[in-house]
Amino acid sequence: MLSIKKLAQLPPQIRQYLLVTANYWAFTLTDGALRMLVVLHFYNLGYSPLNIALLFLFYEFFGVVTNLIGGWLGAHIGLNKTMNIGLGLQVLALSMLLVPGSMLTLFWVMLAQAISGIAKDLNKMSAKSSIKLLVPKDSQDKLYKWVAVLTGSKNTLKGVGFFLGGALLTLAGFTGAIAILTIFLTLIWLLSLFKLQKELGKAKNKPKFSEIFSKSKAINTLSAARLFLFGARDVWFVIALPVFLANQLGWQHQSVGAFIAIWIIAYGIVQSFAPVLTNIINSTNSTNATNTANVPNGKNAFIWAALLTSIPACIALLLNNNIYPEISLLTGLMIFGFFFAINSSLHSFLIVSYANEDGVSLDVGFYYMANAMGRLIGTVLSGWLYQIAGLTACLWMSSGFLLITAIISLRLPKQKNILN
């Protein structure tokens, strides 16, 4: 643990990286807890899987809009402001859920989730864009490691958030849990307002609003692959899995939250070590000893997407044939998590690497717009498919989406350090 004295002696870029990461961590912890609270609380109230999915409809939809506009906004006013706006909006969204139970209507919760969706994607876009500006241009290997650590640690904390949400619901009830999260994030927000660098991420040449859509072939291709990649995860993960565990397997809230937490934590750990894992493979195919020799490219994205494609289909076949269904599901999803984590970490590096430095948030925002669109499609399909056909249908759809991801990834640039 760094002391305050040692922290003050660190280079400014490192201190800003740590602050950005701390903001991202705190936000993600509350976001994961909030999602688990909403899913389990409203399932207990008798909401159908499709209605629970609808609670997150605005959350995902406004994530799409926010990433498009947020990238342009970050280039104009600075990433410090967009990050702090995101933290403030999440405090507002949490506060909205502190109303009496009679006021927690479907529309009210959807509205709170819409604000939370805006907040989440402002925060994510700001954090990912900031890393590009805090790493030297000629250090692509270091950029890969920093992005992997930021992304992996965030997802580990999101997993802790899922566990925290299930535990708080049991120990403090829905309203008490929301109050605890609100107080915690308010303190983080106040710290960030005073400490985050003021000019971080402002573009020298202010982009026009019409430039929010990327003109880069590499970024457009990667964004399309990202859409189907995250649709493939959320089509079973968001609604179908927690409801299946609670309804079909009879798991208690704490158990549902614990498993999803373990999955996310393990997923985040693998993401953090993705540079090590992919470099081992790259090193066997390269005699180049330079720092950029093992930096991943489009070929790596295709290979890892192809490896992931068959896993959900295998789980579905095991479930359809009633072959140790609980063990098959849990083991299969842990294997899926390992390969998905590598894919996600590769994508997160590639978008930051491809993005132009001046106005980096524009490219990153466009990419995460596609990410949010994939989550939106996956969330709606998760509730609808589970309701009409069960978990195995969600898993088959996941494999179909992953096959599309692999095909699209064939069009990504094979050379390293491509910018356009």
pLDDT-based confidence at residue 215 (cuts at 50, 70, 90): low
Share of the chain above pLDDT 70, in %: 76
For residue 22, pLDDT over 60 is answered with yes
**What pLDDT is stored for residue 290 in this prediction?**
45
Q: How far is CA 18 from the centre of its chain?
A: 19
Cα separation, 239 vs 345, in Å, equals 24
**What pLDDT is stored for residue 96 in this prediction?**
93
| Average pLDDT for 3-27 | 67
**What pLDDT is stored for residue 234 in this prediction?**
92
Closest CA to 121 of 68, 78, 170: 68
For residue 170, pLDDT over 80 is answered with yes
For residue 139, pLDDT over 80 is answered with no
DSSP state string for 228-290: HHHHHHHHHHTTHHHHHHHHTS---HHHHHHHHHHHHHHHHHHHHTHHHHHHHHHHHT----S
Mean pLDDT over the full length of the chain: 79
Question: Are the C-beta atoms of residues 148 and 278 closer than 8 Å to each other?
Answer: no
Looking at 218-227, 243-252, 363-372, 401-410, which range is the least confident one?
363-372
For 257-301, what is each residue's pLDDT tens digit?
Answer: 778 778 888 888 888 777 777 765 555 455 444 445 567 777 888
**What pLDDT is stored for residue 420 in this prediction?**
41
Q: In this structure, what token pair is assigned to residue 129?
A: 């864009």
pLDDT-based confidence at residue 6 (cuts at 50, 70, 90): low
pLDDT-based confidence at residue 229 (cuts at 50, 70, 90): very high
Query: In sequence order, which residues have a C-beta less than 8 Å from that of residue 266 and are 6 or more positions away?
Result: 159, 334, 337, 338
pLDDT-based confidence at residue 135 (cuts at 50, 70, 90): low
For residue 319, pLDDT over 80 is answered with yes
**What pLDDT is stored for residue 409 in this prediction?**
93
**What pLDDT is stored for residue 37 in this prediction?**
87
**What pLDDT is stored for residue 288 in this prediction?**
47
Question: Higher-confidence residue: 103 or 20?
Answer: 103
**What pLDDT is stored for residue 1 in this prediction?**
47
Cα separation, 150 vs 345, in Å, equals 10
Sign of CA dihedral 304, 305, 306, 309: positive
Q: In this structure, what token pair is assigned to residue 128?
A: 């990912």
**What pLDDT is stored for residue 419 in this prediction?**
43
Q: 373 to each of 68, 324, 380, how far by Cα in Å?
A: 11, 34, 11
Number of other CB atoms surrounding residue 183 within 10 Å? 11
For residue 310, pLDDT over 60 is answered with yes
pLDDT-based confidence at residue 418 (cuts at 50, 70, 90): very low
**What pLDDT is stored for residue 289 in this prediction?**
44
**What pLDDT is stored for residue 314 in this prediction?**
95
HSE, side-chain direction, 13 A CA sphere, residue 220:
7
Q: Where do the domains of the chain lie, and which CATH numbers do they carry?
A: 11-200+207-409 (1.20.1250.20)
**What pLDDT is stored for residue 417 in this prediction?**
46
Number of other CB atoms surrounding residue 136 within 10 Å? 9
State whether residue 419 is helix, strand or coil: coil
For 9-19, what is each residue's pLDDT tens digit?
Answer: 555 666 666 77
Q: Quick one: DSSP state of residue 102? A: G
For 144-168, what is each residue's pLDDT tens digit?
Answer: 676 777 667 777 777 788 778 878 8
